[in-house]
Amino acid sequence: MGLFRGFFAPFRGAIYVARERLWRHMIVPVVLDLALGLGTMVAAHRFWRKELDGMLQSSPVVGWISLTVMMLLGGVLLFILLQPLLSAVFCDRLAETVEKRVSGSAPSAPLLHSIGKALLHGLAKLALYALAFGAAFVVTLSTAGIGAVVGVALGAIFLAYDGFDYPLARRSATFRGKWAYIAKNPGLALGFGLGSYVLYLVPLAFLVAPPFCAVGATLAYLENDARRAARAGGKARAGGGKPAAANDEGAPDVRAGHASP
């Protein structure tokens, strides 16, 4: 069930934004995403045009089909890699607004501390992305089909991280803690990543996909946390004890005041 809930979460995010009329929060992200999307598609087209030049000369139809597919996949992957650097702040504000509307409140961290941690995690994430996509690129050079599948899988995983990063960062989760949450909720995370990837591939949807995914991940996180807390409470009542204080899976207990960046 987690796989399906995760897959539809980005689309639920779009529905929530429309229903709650949160469009004003999306103006800046859409403008930034438009500029970035055009740039990444142009870069991917130029790269693959050179790589597939022989195929385009010998078999134009197959060559242009291959060029189009690889340009779309490459452009989307580049967009996924770079987008958080541009519009993450605006998507985070939108996600925080949604959490306040759903839960009545949202945890927050000191501004300078949160900015410093975001930069540190962003650099670590970029290094990890570079290694992963570098490996996928090497595979693509030898076997384009397998490389494309690996690229999509990596893109889905990183989209899941980017989405759940918003609610987890507000709870002062460490970089390791964020990945631990993804690992402890594989169905939800994989479903969310695949659903996000599908949304990104819809023509022109890349303009609105990042904020929709941020909202969808926030809703999925809150629901998953509520389900887990309800299960913990049910077990405690069945055992005759008091329910344990709920804490995010894979995230530090920020109430204890010992979360580390």
| Residue 236 one-letter amino acid | A
Q: Are 23 and 41 a contacting pair, CB within 8 Å?
A: no
pLDDT in tens, 91-141: 888 998 999 999 988 887 665 555 565 566 566 666 666 666 666 666 665
- In the three-class reduction of DSSP (H, G, I as helix; E, B as strand; rest coil), residue 247 is classed as coil
pLDDT of 252 above 90: no
| DSSP for 196-213, written as a single string | HHHHHHSTTGGGTHHHHH
Domain ranges of the chain: 2-232
Kindly state the tokens that stand for 15. Answer: 């529905």
Q: Are 10 and 199 a contacting pair, CB within 8 Å?
A: yes
Kindly state the tokens that stand for 44. Answer: 């991917």
Angle at 104 between CA 29 and CA 249, to 5 degrees: 80
pLDDT in tens, 194-238: 999 889 888 788 788 889 999 999 999 999 999 888 888 777 777
- Which among 147, 241, 227 is positioned nearest to 187, based on CA atoms? 227
pLDDT of 2 above 90: no
Task: Please identify which residue in the block is written with the tokens 């300078």.
Answer: 112
Please tell me the pTM assigned to this model: 0.72
For the chain, the C-alpha Rg in angstroms (whole number) is 20
Q: Which residue has the higher pLDDT, 187 or 56?
A: 187
| Residue 56 one-letter amino acid | L
